[in-house]
Structure 1
């Protein structure tokens, strides 16, 4: 069913690649007019050319409040208002231990993953109230739900996004502004290579490697791709989710259902490993 976002105006951060790009493409196909925000200016301008009259690019460094405010203001000046904000811009850091954390690294991660989300909601809310409501979607991560899926600063920040979305929903839902988070699992994007400081081209190649091998990592034997998250964002942006606020949607191929032994028959349960020799055989069988 096409046209699920007809008449809606959306702002998407981190829009020039990965999940953001996939969401711009899907939202545009569903009828939305989109302000695509990023710091990759060449890719942003290409989006404007691809979707003439429907997508406007805004250079937006989400660590700068003025850039966030200007991008959201562009939605009103160009398209008449704001209905959807997808706070998606993000980055990760290296897999380090708590003993290796630096003040600069911690503050950098939180400025992009937490503070920028808060500022996006701050500047979006008045514009959505003018329209009679709206939907705010924040990109979190399964790393914010469980240990073992990301570096400590990144994981802590994403846990903050989940809870901040819940608190913001409590404050804004009475004004018909829904706030929800999406928790992606292993999605083939350049964020992995970027976290190691690799050039964009090399990071993109690493994303292709994740796509080629991701099906082995979770119960659903399919690699996670940006479109999987874009479809979740479409649901939360559309009127199909008018009764949904203050929650998080996990889109992870089932990777968080349990340890690998819970879904991979080739893996033995750790309890079976420990207790196997201690459990007596069934009656009638020799020990």
Structure 2
């Protein structure tokens, strides 16, 4: 550890941090000097990740669609660390790629509850704390699906477009409170949801077809998203708010 760590002395809560992008962000944040709350509905997974990160991390189990649970989780985070500088709304969910008329109401409701309403809950829970300490950074993990929607994921695409708009709306409303709000829009990544998005078996041939649509020629990795999340949370980005940073290898061009 050196003084060049970009998040030295900062504290962060990361949702969906038991796997995928969230785990990658948690690991990178600790490497950059932050203390991290590893939050996930998968309590065992959250504890495993926090344990692997040592004293700089603590695990919190939470259903992010439950407002009371979210408030309790934020209280637990501030109790553990005293103050909370950064919130990464990373947790998300997608239905399997399927024609729009085959998506039922329960699936629609879950998509919006996990991907959108959770941000409502966390905003209400954490903004009073940030106003009290005079600062805060929220990072919302959206998707290129909200910028360049494709067939088979209509309502998922809609949730991510909403997340992009929430990021900009919160950024302008909360700027006077010294609260920055930024977004990250990854292209399809090497995570557990990959086959869900592709709507086809995850074979080398099918991956090759999708990767051919990405100018830089590969899928995103947790390390790509973590690097962006470090920059946006750091003091290097002190004048950056309201952006939806595309980590997509050029797919949205």
Structure 1: which 5+ residue stretches go unaligned? 197-202, 258-287
1:149 shift after superposition: 6.7
Number of the residue aligned with 1:101: 103
1:109 shift after superposition: 0.4
C-alpha spacing 1:73/1:254, structure 2 compared with 1 (3 Å): same
Match of 1:243 among 234, 239, 244: 239
1:256 shift after superposition: 1.5
Structure 2: which 5+ residue stretches go unaligned? none
Deviation sequence 1:137-167 (CA, Å, 0-9, x none): 0011111012217601100000001111111
Please show how residues 168-207 of structure 1 align to structure 2 within 5 Å: 168-193=170-195
1:93–1:151: 8 Å Cα contact kept in structure 2? yes
Runs of 4+ in 1 over 6 A off after TM superposition: none
User: Which moves more between the two structures, 18-27 or 63-72?
Assistant: 63-72
d(CA) in 1 for partners of 2:81, 2:112: 31
2:96–2:196: 8 Å Cα contact kept in structure 1? no
Number of the residue aligned with 1:12: 14
Please show how residues 23-102 of structure 1 align to structure 2 within 5 Å: 23-102=25-104
1:82–1:131: 8 Å Cα contact kept in structure 2? no
d(CA) in 1 for partners of 2:172, 2:219: 35
Asked if 1:162 is matched to 2:158, the reply is no
1:85–1:137: 8 Å Cα contact kept in structure 2? yes
C-alpha spacing 1:221/1:146, structure 2 compared with 1 (3 Å): closer
CA RMSD of aligned residues (A): 2.4
1:92–1:192: 8 Å Cα contact kept in structure 2? no
Asked if 1:227 is matched to 2:223, the reply is yes
Query: TM-score, structure 2 length as denominator?
Result: 0.91
1:134 shift after superposition: 1.2
1:98 shift after superposition: 3.1
1:131 shift after superposition: 2.3
Deviation sequence 1:43-69 (CA, Å, 0-9, x none): 211122222221010001111112211
1:149–1:155: 8 Å Cα contact kept in structure 2? no
SS of the equivalent of 2:175 reads helix
d(CA) in 2 for partners of 1:158, 1:193: 18
Q: Choose 1 or 2 for highest CA Rg.
A: 1
User: Which moves more between the two structures, 141-150 or 87-96?
Assistant: 141-150
1:137–1:180: 8 Å Cα contact kept in structure 2? yes
Deviation sequence 1:96-115 (CA, Å, 0-9, x none): 33323322111110000000
1:195 shift after superposition: 6.8
Number of the residue aligned with 1:266: none
SS of the equivalent of 2:58 reads strand
1:132 shift after superposition: 1.6
